[in-house]
Amino acid sequence: MSRKRYTPEQIIGMLRDVEAVTAQVRVLMKSRTLGKYSDTCWHAGYIIDTEFEMKREPFVASCDDGPALEVWQGQHAFKTRWDLGLNTQ
């Protein structure tokens, strides 16, 4: 799993900074019945609006949809603050 934390961003129409977070989630499964393994990967994220106690703009996309995460981050002017460097792939 890899995690990234992003800097405050300004939501259109709001004149305040908010936090946002994204994560890459990888799920490995084994089907004994089918005799097969599956390996799926998802990007998930949301904006954390602490002032109004809301999680806004939820996002989920397959890791196979490469540009989807970058597009979502670009729409909200994300800038990374840190990267834990946890990449098990």
Domain locations in the chain as residue ranges:
2-82
Mean per-residue pLDDT over the chain, rounded:
80
First vs last C-alpha separation in the chain: 8
Q: How confident is the model at residue 50 (pLDDT cuts 50, 70, 90)?
A: confident
Q: How confident is the model at residue 12 (pLDDT cuts 50, 70, 90)?
A: very low
Distance CA 24, CA 72 (A): 14
3-state secondary structure of 66: helix
pTM over 0.75: no
- Angle at the Cα of 60 from the Cα atoms of 55 and 62, rounded to 5 degrees: 165
The better pLDDT of the pair 60, 22 is held by 60
Closest Cα to residue 37, out of 47, 26, 46? Answer: 26
